[in-house]
Amino acid sequence: MINYDKYQEEKFKKWEDACKCCGACCGTVDGDPCLHLIKQNNGKHFCEIYNARLGMRKTRSGKIFRCVEIRDIINKHWPGSNNCVYKIF
């Protein structure tokens, strides 16, 4: 019998691991990314407050925006969204 919690954990990890960490959904393409987006030496990005990310945030130029879960914007367009792995799935 499948352990449901384990199944959910595996699915969660699979979806999290699928992200290319391009940072497009956090503003890297239009050049005004979120203040919490950190670029690593390997070119990938990560959110320094990922577990508490949702809500009102600020870009480097001072624009206020709402950080939302990817599932809430998957049917919308944002700069660079054509390369988002979740749109290709």
Which residues contribute to the site for ligand SF4 (CB under 6 A)?
Answer: 19-26, 34, 36-37, 47, 49, 53, 57, 67, 70, 84-86
Spatial distance between the Cα atoms of 27 and 59, rounded to a whole number of angstroms = 8
Is the Cβ of residue 3 or residue 75 nearer to ligand SF4 in the bound state?
A: 75
- What distance, in Å, lies between the first and last C-alpha atoms of the chain? 28
Beta strands in 1-89 (DSSP E): 37-39, 45-47, 55-58, 64-67
Residue with tokens 């799935």: 89
Is the Cβ of residue 32 or residue 67 nearer to ligand SF4 in the bound state?
A: 67
Q: How far is the CB of 65 from ligand SF4 (least distance, A)?
A: 7
Q: How far is the CB of 24 from ligand SF4 (least distance, A)?
A: 4
